[in-house]
Structure 1
Amino acid sequence: MQVKVRKGDTLWYYSQLFRVPFQLVLDSNLNKSVTKLMIGETVYIPGFITKKYIVQSGESFWVLSQRYNVSIDAIYLLNQSINPYQLTVGQTINLPLKVTWPIVQGKKEYDYKEMMTDLRRLKTVYPFLRTQTIGKSVMGKPIPEVTIGVGTKKVHANGSFHGNEWITSAILMTFLNDYLLAVTNIKPIRKMMLMPLYLTSFLSLVPMVDPDGVDLVLNGPPNEEPYRSLVLKLNEGNSDFSNWKANIRGVDLNNQFPAKWEIEQRRKPQEPAPRDYPGQAPLTEPEALAMSELTKKRNFDRVLAFHSQGEEIYWGYESLEPKESETIVKEFSRVSGYKPVRLLDSFAGYKDWFIQEWKRPGYTIEVGMGVNPLPLSQFEEIYEENLGILLASLYME
């Protein structure tokens, strides 16, 4: 929500007026002076929307402030050109409405268009949310990173490295929305206030690493050539792509990282396929390269890659992981019920590469149990299990 500054208004005053943490107001207005605002300039109030309201008989600003549980001065602020003592029936005014409902509806087939629409809506209501494009998919779709928090502990989580694991994108976006609701409404999640986590941690999310693959699984082959002909050929003419793991060129993005990639290259498919083909070399695919460059740029303290399925957490790689990795994974296991697995006969994954290069905690979390794509009937259960993991990733030292 946007408001126009009056004489004497400050960001601190707006924080008190709308009962929103000052840090969130500050982070929503980074180019504004903390102590001296210009009269008439625009300021963003996070967690609110403007509701157009038609005045009914007997109503006043005071009556509406009581009904909608907002300060009467907040209503004055949004209606500076209106005489509050001369309201007429049928007149349209602006009301500040606190957003207490989720924007993201994760329990659905969650494709790229759905995610991008949700991100735009979230950014409008929560302007302290930061988004950037880290690269583009093979078909040119921008791959967004979302960041939240101002702390020094840098945590990263990603989803949908594989197209038929799109439920992980819905899980991460639902968590993002719940986080935003919790900090703006000053409400706990699992008896935990999230504002201290906002102040001590910096969370990076790439909810959908492989948008082309997700759209292929959910929406069928694209109209664009040569991609339509290629995927139909690789899928042996079958129009059902529900088992497709690779990107649109038939390369498995989680077999693309330079962590003993040669082992996977020797024993996996030697040409593009619906799954497992590691490519002709590491980091040939733009999606994997974008994740590599982001990780180098951000210098994360820990990373979580969400996959499906198996209800397991892989946390080691070639015994290069630090001691704290085990402490953290035990907490992940406690809050989720998932089984920790240290070593696995698997290489060239994002988590493997991160541990190898940074010697910091990295995790692959296999959400849910069954056959991919996991059914939406599991969504609530999977979300509750992984909500604990995501919170723990922020509060664990």
Structure 2
Amino acid sequence: MKKSLLLAFFLCIVLLVFPENSNAKSLVNPNQTYTYEEMTADIKNLGMAYPELITYKSLGKTPFGREMWAVGVGRGDATLFINSSHHAREWLTTNIAMEMIDQYSESYVNNTKIDGYSARSLLNEVTIWFVPMVNPDGVTLQKSGLNAFPSWTHQSLIKMNNGSKNFKRWKANAQGIDLNRQYPAGWELKSGLTNSYMNYPGKRALEAPEAAKLAAFTYWVDPEITVSYHSSGRTLFWNYKVKKGNYDRDYTIAKKVGNMTGYSLVMPTSTPSGSGYKDWFIETFDRPGLTPEISYYVPNTNPPISVFPEEWRRNKAVGLYLAQESDKLWEKKVTHVNKTITTFDTKSTLNRPDPDHASRKTLKPGVYTVDATKDKWLRVSTGTVKTWVYASSFVYGEVSNVNEPLLLLTKKTLFSMPLQNKNTKVLIDQQIVTAKKKWNNWYLINTTYGDRWITDASVLKNYSPTTINETYKLLVPKVAWEAPVYTAKRTSLQKNTVINATQQWNGWIRVQFDGKHYWMRKDHTLESFNVNNSTENVNQEIVLLTNKVLFNLPSYGSNSGKSVKAGTYQVVRKMNNWYGIKTSYGTKWVSHSSAITDNQTNKINTQYELVRPKVAHSIPSGSAAVRSIPVGTIVQATSEWEDWTSVIYDQQTYWLRTDSVLKPFTVEQSTEPIDQELVLITRKTLFTLPSYGSNTNESVEPMIVKATRQRGNWYAFNTVNGERWISSASVITDYHPTAINQQYELSQEKRGFTIPSTTAESLIIAKDSVVTGKQTWKDWILVEYSGKEYWVKTDATLVPYSPQQNMSKMLSTETSPETTSEQPEVKEEKIQ
């Protein structure tokens, strides 16, 4: 359960590129009796947690079906190989290897150091390969005994164990062959020996499949250094017939590892026994090989798990130190350079300059830095990672971007790359091309075959036409060439074609026709053309019966690449059978084909009422139905064509079939004259006809208007723009005020409204103000105040008022005891 949770957790946080601070967590618990099954699960979990750093694969299965797992940690091309558990009872070395994989990966992601060694910098240059358990069958037998094996093997295993069912001393594989005595370096047949729990070398070298697979894998890894972990005794074997020229190198490395681990170096003897993995590697590859024996000496069984922390402390940096030394040895084998290359095709990449080390990644065409070569391979940098590619389809240096017009004076051969061996055998005619890239005397141009390279032979490179913006009309049919040379491919343009010239050079002009560029001689057969001077200014409509291509000029060949849908458009200019219409792209031109122009339609000014719902069309075509207009709608008809009528509805032009559904309508005959005031209590949209769909962009504020005509719930009144109609919604139609002439004094301030509605605009009339009532309607009074009229609510705050009352009030004030001696004279004058 714990393993499953860990796996789920890491699946959620897998990143394609490791962040700087990802706080990776340890996945391996090395402080336990570590089984083959636990190791397998941890390898898979590690691979999922570090997909860009860890690779794992099976080297094949043991005789009893267990996988021999190999794990690669790192992203570099130099290699180091560490293996463990050749011997069954030495399984604690698997714990060491697995902890290295775990801790080095964690340190890489977190960018930390282990005893001063940077895992990230080293593992970017080196890949450390591990086979953590060379002998999984033997380890399983030593730990789990007979229960882990089929019953038919039990008697044989007991016999090889000298009759004992206790397998704690077991050292060999499950066939009783000692794997570390199987390698062809001083191997010899031992007479009198047979399959046993220890020391039996087999009938021949590499007889055991485990040893054979490990040897084959070593050739594949091709490591600079190998480490084969064993136990016990804290010693370090490092020499087997080491050649004199390699002695100092190997001894220096072994001494450093001895100092790091505290293990005693075993010095060479005159008669080394051989047949061990380290012996075979040194003899075969002439490279350093080490065999550390971990733990204090424990005879005939496995070291206790309690010794692991101490052994880890001694060995935790060994892999990183040896990775550093492996990188040094590897770099001596490559030729170092510092060059820039440009590649032109997608390249397969390799982890090492060896076809057997192909990776799943590819290198896109581009510019790269090469820091080393080996044989026919190049090492290129892609970010922090270096990869190897085959030295083909590239040039040294960087290809520069250009935007350079070239005049090809002869036919030119196309190349897929700027390399003489990339000849496509395809020729292109003389023409003008634009170079996109340049390398030495090569140019990359765009052709009908795609981007291709040409040499600069027979190419006019100082070609520099002048930019112009001139428009011409052809007075005669005229030949146009694809290049300003008479030998170029040519075509003919018709008389009256209007063309736009964008360049001129040496008596030639460059024009555009049908999306292509041509050159023609600038002579008397060209007439200057100006849209404003050469076309007629008009103001009319045109109906396009089909979708139409838009042209920049009134001429075929100037197509803009844009189009408009069938419909009605405003024409602003005209030339012969060409019409300049307003579009969202600006003024563009259309031909008269599949179009109805003003001179083809009959202009009318008629209104119709629909006696049934009717389908409206965007153009006079039965296939262009766009909406339905409801029964009773009154529409304004503007033109007729064949059996179609164009009408205005919702400020849009639509076409209706001319039939009995269209009932003639006249305002005078179909509406009733009235003389009635209406109160508009909200802003009202104005209509040209008593019908929805005839709406205008005009509106009026809340106000009182004089209605002159009525049709049902529609009312007409005069505006500055003529007669307009409104619907009865939000309109008081029973407005019949009564005239009065009465003054009032306000006993408290009061709100006055522009119409008899509390939703209208208002102001505050001050207390004690005297107002004159003009009209009353329901519970409203129209009063005059400060020269303007306002409607106020009828209530007790309106106190009737007369001048006599005011005079009496003033006299009462003048005769009070506080009146001055001058007041009687004033009062007298007022009485008179």
State the TM-score, normalizing by the size of structure 2: 0.36
State the shift of 1:2 in Å. Answer: 6.4
State the shift of 1:112 in Å. Answer: 0.5
Q: Which amino acid aligns with 2:30?
A: G
Deviations 1:311-369 (A, max 9, x none): 11111112337231111111101111111113253210111011111111011111111
State the shift of 1:266 in Å. Answer: 2.8
Rounded to whole Å, the distance in 1 between the matches of 2:206 and 2:102 is 32
1:330 aligned partner: 255
Q: Secondary structure at the match of 1:213?
A: helix
Structure 1, unmatched stretches of 5+, are 5-9, 21-46, 48-97
2:564 aligned partner: none
1:121 aligned partner: 45
Rounded to whole Å, the distance in 2 between the matches of 1:134 and 1:320 is 31
Match of 2:210 among 276, 287, 291: 287
Q: Which amino acid aligns with 1:244?
A: W
Correspondence list, 1:232-311, <5 A: 232-262=158-188, 265-266=189-190, 270-311=193-234
Q: Are residues 318 and 239 of structure 1, via their aligned partners in 2, closer, same or farther at CA, if it must alter by over 3 Å?
A: same
Rounded to whole Å, the distance in 2 between the matches of 1:223 and 1:198 is 39
Q: Runs in 1 of length 4+ with deviation above 6 angstroms? A: none
Residue range with higher mean Cα deviation, 184-193 or 350-359: 184-193
Deviations 1:283-307 (A, max 9, x none): 1111000001001112111100000
1:109 aligned partner: 33
1:380 aligned partner: 309
Query: Does structure 1 conserve the Cα–Cα contact (< 8 Å) formed by 2:11 and 2:49?
Result: no
State the shift of 1:271 in Å. Answer: 0.4
1:370 aligned partner: 297
Rounded to whole Å, the distance in 2 between the matches of 1:120 and 1:226 is 32
Rounded to whole Å, the distance in 1 between the matches of 2:152 and 2:219 is 32
Correspondence list, 1:1-397, <5 A: 18-19=19-20, 98-100=23-25, 102-128=26-52, 129-221=54-146, 222-262=148-188, 265-266=189-190, 270-320=193-243, 322-323=246-247, 324-344=249-269, 345-371=272-298, 372-396=301-325, 397=328
Deviations 1:56-75 (A, max 9, x none): xxxxxxxxxxxxxxxxxxxx
Rounded to whole Å, the distance in 1 between the matches of 2:35 and 2:11 is 30
Q: Which amino acid aligns with 2:109?
A: T
Rounded to whole Å, the distance in 1 between the matches of 2:101 and 2:229 is 14
- Choose between structure 1 and 2: higher helix proportion: 1
Q: Which amino acid aligns with 1:382?
A: E
Rounded to whole Å, the distance in 1 between the matches of 2:126 and 2:267 is 26
Q: Which amino acid aligns with 1:381?
A: E
Query: Does structure 2 conserve the Cα–Cα contact (< 8 Å) formed by 1:315 and 1:362?
Result: yes
Structure 2, unmatched stretches of 5+, are 1-9, 329-832
Q: Which amino acid aligns with 2:95?
A: A
Deviations 1:158-183 (A, max 9, x none): 00000000000011101110001101
Query: Does structure 2 conserve the Cα–Cα contact (< 8 Å) formed by 1:150 and 1:198?
Result: yes
Q: Are residues 192 and 296 of structure 1, via their aligned partners in 2, closer, same or farther at CA, if it must alter by over 3 Å?
A: closer
State the shift of 1:370 in Å. Answer: 2.1
Q: Are residues 336 and 266 of structure 1, via their aligned partners in 2, closer, same or farther at CA, if it must alter by over 3 Å?
A: same
What is the aligned residue count? Answer: 308
- Choose between structure 1 and 2: higher strand proportion: 2
State the shift of 1:3 in Å. Answer: 7.9
Query: Does structure 2 conserve the Cα–Cα contact (< 8 Å) formed by 1:317 and 1:342?
Result: no
Residue range with higher mean Cα deviation, 149-158 or 201-210: 149-158
Q: Which amino acid aligns with 2:43?
A: L
Q: Are residues 146 and 218 of structure 1, via their aligned partners in 2, closer, same or farther at CA, if it must alter by over 3 Å?
A: same
Q: Which amino acid aligns with 2:221?
A: R
Q: Which amino acid aligns with 1:309?
A: S
Q: Secondary structure at the match of 1:266?
A: coil
Q: Secondary structure at the match of 2:117?
A: coil
Rounded to whole Å, the distance in 2 between the matches of 1:194 and 1:289 is 31
Q: Secondary structure at the match of 1:121?
A: helix
Rounded to whole Å, the distance in 2 between the matches of 1:225 and 1:254 is 27
Rounded to whole Å, the distance in 1 between the matches of 2:196 and 2:208 is 14
RCO higher in 1 or 2 (8 Å CA, sep ≥ 6)?
A: 1
Rounded to whole Å, the distance in 1 between the matches of 2:155 and 2:12 is 52
Query: Does structure 2 conserve the Cα–Cα contact (< 8 Å) formed by 1:244 and 1:275?
Result: yes
Cα RMSD, aligned residues only? 2.0
Rounded to whole Å, the distance in 1 between the matches of 2:277 and 2:121 is 29
- Percent identity of equivalent pairs: 31
Rounded to whole Å, the distance in 1 between the matches of 2:83 and 2:20 is 32
Rounded to whole Å, the distance in 1 between the matches of 2:222 and 2:174 is 29
Deviations 1:221-251 (A, max 9, x none): 2331443221112113322111110000000
The structure with the larger Rg is: 2
Query: Does structure 2 conserve the Cα–Cα contact (< 8 Å) formed by 1:320 and 1:355?
Result: no
Query: Does structure 1 conserve the Cα–Cα contact (< 8 Å) formed by 2:242 and 2:283?
Result: no
State the TM-score, normalizing by the size of structure 1: 0.74
Query: Does structure 1 conserve the Cα–Cα contact (< 8 Å) formed by 2:117 and 2:317?
Result: no
Q: Are residues 288 and 226 of structure 1, via their aligned partners in 2, closer, same or farther at CA, if it must alter by over 3 Å?
A: farther
Rounded to whole Å, the distance in 1 between the matches of 2:205 and 2:82 is 21
Q: Are residues 341 and 225 of structure 1, via their aligned partners in 2, closer, same or farther at CA, if it must alter by over 3 Å?
A: same
